[in-house]
Structure 1
Amino acid sequence: MVSKVKVLLWLGHVALPALGLWLLVSRPELDMDYEHHGTHFWLVLTTAAIAMALGVMLFRAARMRRDARLILVSLVFQFSAGFLGLHALATPGVILLTPNAGFVYSVPVGLGLGGIAALASSVEFGPAAAARLHRYAWMLSALPTLLLVVWAVVSMAQFPPLHHAPDPAEAKGPLVGVAFVGSACYLAAAFRYGRQYARRRGVVLLSVLTAFVLLAEALFAVGFSRSWHTSWWEWHVLMLAAFVLISSSAHVQFRREGSALGLFDSVTLHQTMAGLERDYTHALNEMVDALRARAEGGVASTEPLGAVGARLSRRFGLTERQVAVLQQGAHALGSEREQVRRLGLLAAIGERSNVIRGEQELLDEVLHLVSEAFERDRFRLGLVRGRELIFADGGPADLQSSAFPLVVKGSLAGMLEARRARGRFSDTEIAMLRSFADRTSVMLENARLYQQIDGLFRSYMSPTVATALIADPSQAGLGGRIAEVSVLMADLSGFTPFSESSTPEAVVHMLNTYYGVIVPTILDCGGTVVQFVGDAVMAVFNAPAHQPDHALRAACAGLALQRVVAETAIPHPDWPRFRVGVNTGPALVGNIGAQQMRNYTAIGDTTNLAARLESLAEPGTVVIGSLTYAHLGSRAQVRSRGTVTVRGRSEPVTCYVLDGIR
């Protein structure tokens, strides 16, 4: 936004001429007479020459940019310059001996036509309207010349109605009318350009809108001044100031950019500016690609920009200095893009650190990511094993490489080696590589922590549950879901008599020996061991992991359990044997308990019936429920137990002794 102080200062400066005119008109005694035809001639002719030069420059810029607004702004200066020139030529005593109507009316007519063109130029034309205006550009540019020729012939030849000077009272009315209409056009145009300046700053744009205000004041001076008096000379000076202001700002812009091509870009239509921005962005991208090609050997080092630089120079009319600036911008943009790409890969390392995976697998992925970030360099990752730094290729540390330590819990855990074939890493690249090493250290620490937690969890719960909790800790919350599961219940038949006749050490030894073979057997079949209760073990299938063949898995686990128990008990004929019950049905599976302690399990009638079936089994056998048998189908080798009454059930249940699986 433009500051209020600057706006007030600008308003103060442009208001001074209006205050001066008001003072001179209200105090006629101050409006001194000064009639000097030579001074008038050269002052007006100089002003006209400056205005015409601006008009030509603007029209050339309009053709180059194909911009409708610049065409109309050029007409403002062409009308003003042409009629000012005729006003100068009609100066009494230069060509004509006496003043005529052409001398009096040429300036207000020229400024009035310029005001109409200025107001039209402030319109934000759409693409279709702008294209039509540009199509008739030559006709519009010829219009001032045509009007000037007609006016010059009539005025200089003193044809009616321009053959004599009008009476001052007679001329006052038309002059005041033109002053009001033309000034309103200029002020409206200046207001619109001011709104554009608030959105898009530009020295030339500010000069144009200021010049329009000065031309509006000049028209007022034309309408209310007295010939050859101070108020009359004021509008001559105002017009000169307006055109000199634009010329000087254009010169400043030229000195700054070193080229005349973009002097009036800030005045153009929004669509023209948007197209220029697209072109410049495309040029910058081309330059970035050219610099990358040069870095990769695609462009000879003796030709820094290659054909791209020459093509862009011709396309945009760039000077050598501008091409150099563009090259610097391309360097900066290329570096920024490369930095963003590398930061993306660095963020990818951070994402990998939250995934439960093997340590070596993660390190291999880090090595791939850092090699992708620095494509032309060579990297190695080594880990400290037994106080020795070991690299995957088995080679020793490279003393010629840059080394970035991996630190875990304050101790050296490894090393990231980076080597560049030619040259050295920049400070920015070194900082980036340090960040890669730091992220890798965090990832390595997380991986080792996950391994420790995973090992600890697996010591106290089923690996399936442990893996699910580590991957998603939110699953540890209390509650559950209804799912169809197969529940395996197993306990020792005759455990109580054995405990009474054996020492506690012998009982614990027996249980640990049995569970040492039972648990791996259940896990191999995909079961989740949810609890041990003395001599009993419970396992669930189809939770938490989905298993479409959960009934088959549970049945196979029951048979395998009996086989490994029988083999384990061969040296111990006095050890009791297991009874196994398997049942399938819906159950509530999840974390049951309190905030302080909880257990993943399955509860419901399906679990209760599995326990009842287990109590019906003979030692060394497996009893399954009817729904489990239905899931197994013809694959099950069974002996029917018929219908039996079990505790907690009002209706008898059908069960089977499972002898094998086909």
Structure 2
Amino acid sequence: MATIATTSRIRLGAGSPAVVAAGVLAVTLPLVGFVSLLLREQLDPQLHNHQAHFVIFGLAGGFAFTLGYGAGEAANRRGDARVLLLSLAFMATGGFMALHAFGTAGVLFAESRAGFQIAIPVGLLVSAFFAVASAFVDARPELGQLVMRQRGRLRAGVLGSMAIWFLWTLADLPPLSGTNGEAATGTVLATLATLGTIAYAVSAVRYWQLFRSRPTLLPTAVIACFLLLAEAMVGVAITGERKWHASWWEWHGLILLAYLMIGFAARREWREERFRQLYLPSTRERRQEISVLFGDLEGYTTFAERSSPAEAAGVLHAYWGTAAPLLARRFGGQVEKFIGDGIVATFNSRGDQPDHAVRAARAALALQEAVGAIADEHPGWPRLRVGVNSGDAVLRELGGEGHVAYTLVGDTVNTGARLESLAPAGGVLIGPTTRAALPAGSLVESRDGLRMKGKHEPVDAFVLLGVPS
């Protein structure tokens, strides 16, 4: 049976002393931070160091933003809405923290600006929105698909909000005008802090409910992160405008500590699947309507037998070096794997391409055109056969600690592989479901009653000649 599997190795050692110690810290540090904030009156000296503030929180903001970007790439690869929303939360905090550091008085600017002063509380509030969304995105199945379809707009919204805040602050426009604008008052800060504290607390409780039955390090670190960020918001409300006091430094430090914990926990995972422990159940197993494209070089085995290894490898490099970016970048497909002289790609595996059948069909024709041009320049090189099929498949996470694979299985995949084996050299053979999804004016030639290995009944197929743009 044909399957499509994307594999990763998972790092072992979850029970090592370092991991256990990190788990204990993740549980205890939020309590320590909260107690120390309550004792600010007993220990709250002034500590002025503008350069240290600029460097420390500039680097911290960059770290949190980079962590968010990495989580976003993992979310895009697996189509996981929870990790995507978490990535946006991390990016929001990191970006606004970097703006706060950028505006440190006495470094790049002669005096403080209100927009830079309150950038961190604003970033934390934006982050809190995504934290809550990540905690409840599993409430309804369609929410995850909606988030993944809108992932580009969501990321653009986060980046755009940072840019607008930065430009608004530089333009010195109300309510961010002056060194102590209306937006930087204690009342505004207290309001932001209250909203953010509630959001992070709710998110932490929800994550605890979700992961209490399997309390691994990364989910525990996320819960601790939310608690620390909630305490940072409490620190905003308690310290108010007590800039440069120890308690003011502390709530900055709580944010830094929160993301260091996430970074450490993610670092303990294998680099290909650092955020796997947070994936939604639907990421681990779901039924998905997809289109699958199989390609194979006809006669490659014979060609390789009479060619040098270098020449045989050169053919694959030329073909697949052209195919991979064409399928992925131009048509939005997911290149799942190369199998010697074969290539497999899927469309809509993340549920965000309702036009997947049309994409796959156009990609197949474009692939044949590109590879055919290469073959024309090298007489004797094997030609490509392509099969495309559409329908339901099941994506299932297989394996565990040490090795994991995300495999697409089902008759749709099996039939796609069989269509490829029956396709003419230089041509594209598609299944009936793919044909039915093509727009009017598409050019096909019927191939009725094809016998396929493993199927009892004959299958109608179509040689694809053209799809209108």
C-alpha deviation, 1:223, in angstroms: 2.0
Q: Which runs of 5 or more residues in structure 2 are unaligned?
A: 1-21, 288-337, 347-398, 405-469
Distance 2:403 2:51 in 1: 50
Given the alignment, which residue of 259, 264, 272 partners 1:248? 264
TM-score by length of 2: 0.55
2:82 matched to 1:69?
Answer: yes
- Name the structure 2 match of 1:160: 174
Larger Rg: 1
Query: What is the RMSD of the two structures over their aligned residues, measured on CA atoms?
Result: 3.4
Corresponding residue to 2:145 among 127, 131, 138: 131
User: CA offset at residue 126 of structure 1?
Assistant: 2.8
Structure 2 counterpart of 1:249, one-letter code: A
Q: Is the 8 A contact 1:92 1:98 kept in 2?
A: yes
SS at match of 1:58: helix
Whole-angstrom CA distance in 1 between matches of 2:340 and 2:214 = 28
**SS state of the match for residue 253, structure 1?**
coil
Consecutive unaligned residues of structure 1, counting only runs of 5 or more, are: 1-5, 255-259, 277-306, 316-321, 328-662
Q: Return the offset for 1:133.
A: 1.2
In 1: Cα distance, 2:401 partner to 2:345 partner: 14
Contact 1:200–1:266 (CA under 8 A) maintained in structure 2 = no
Work out which of the residue numbers 196, 200, 207 in structure 1 matches 2:214: 200
Instruction: Tell me the matched-pair count.
Output: 281
Q: Secondary structure at the match of 1:88?
A: helix
Contact 1:201 1:266 in 2 (8 A): no
Matched residue of 1:95: which SS? coil
Identity score, percent: 30
Following superposition of structure 1 onto structure 2, how do residues 63-142 of structure 1 map, counting pairs within 5 Å?
63-123=76-136, 124-142=138-156
The residue identity in structure 2 corresponding to 1:252 is R
Task: Give the alignment of 1:9-408 within 5 angstroms.
Answer: 11-24=27-40, 26-27=41-42, 30-123=43-136, 124-166=138-180, 171-225=185-239, 226-254=242-270, 260-275=271-286
Letter in structure 1 aligned against 2:278:
V
> CA deviation digits over 1:150-180, x for unaligned, max 9?
1101112323332212279971111111111
CA 1:309–1:217 in structure 2 vs 1: closer, same or farther (change >3 Å)? farther
- How far does residue 222 in structure 1 lie from its aligned partner after superposition? 1.7
Once the 2 structures are TM-superposed, how far is the Cα of residue 211 of structure 1 from its aligned partner?
Answer: 0.8
Distance 1:23 1:216 in 2: 17
How many Å separate the matches in 1 of 2:23 and 2:38? 22
Distance 2:36 2:193 in 1: 17
Q: Any idea what the Cα deviations from partners look like across 1:303-344, whole Å, max 9, x if unmatched?
A: xxxx979999999xxxxxx999559xxxxxxxxxxxxxxxxx
SS at 1:78 equivalent? helix
Q: Distance in 2 between matches of 1:122 and 1:310?
A: 43
TM-fit CA distance, 1:264: 0.6
Separation in 1, partners of 2:217, 2:342: 29
Structure 2: which amino acid aligns with 1:264?
Answer: F
Contact kept? 2:88, 2:155, Cα under 8 Å: yes
Contact persistence 1:186–1:213 (CA under 8 A) = yes
Hey, what does 1:523 align to over in structure 2? none
Q: Structure 2: how far apart are the matches of 1:313 and 1:241?
A: 43
**Could you tell me which amino acid in structure 1 is paired with residue 134 of structure 2?**
S
TM-score, normalising length: structure 1:
0.39
1:54-83 deviation per Cα after TM superposition (whole angstroms, max 9, x unaligned) = 110111011111111112111111110111
The 1:9/1:152 distance shift into structure 2, 3 A limit, reads: closer
Distance 1:326 1:311, change over 3 A: farther
1:200 match: secondary structure: coil
Give yes or no for contact 2:236–2:251 (8 Å, CA) kept in 1.
Answer: yes
The CA deviation at 1:13 is 2.9
- Structure 1, residues 355-399: CA drift from partner, whole Å, max 9, x if none? xxxxxxxxxxxxxxxxxxxxxxxxxxxxxxxxxxxxxxxxxxxxx
Check conservation: 2:197, 2:233, Cα contact below 8 A.
yes
Structure number with the bigger relative contact order (C-alpha 8 A, sep ≥ 6) is 2
Q: Is the contact made by 2:23 and 2:221 (CA closer than 8 Å) also made in structure 1?
A: no
Provide, for residues 85-129 of structure 1, a one-character-per-residue CA deviation record: whole Å limited to 9, x for no partner: 110111001222111211221111100111111011101243322
CA 1:269 to 1:311, structure 2 compared with 1: closer, same or farther past 3 Å?
farther
Contact residue 61 and residue 98 of structure 2 kept, 8 A: yes
Contact kept in structure 1, 2:174 and 2:181, CA below 8 Å:
no
Shift of the 148–325 alpha-carbon distance from structure 1 to 2, 3 Å rule, reads: closer
In the alignment, residue 240 of structure 1 is paired with which amino acid? Answer: L
Q: Which moved more, 1:164-173 or 1:96-105?
A: 164-173
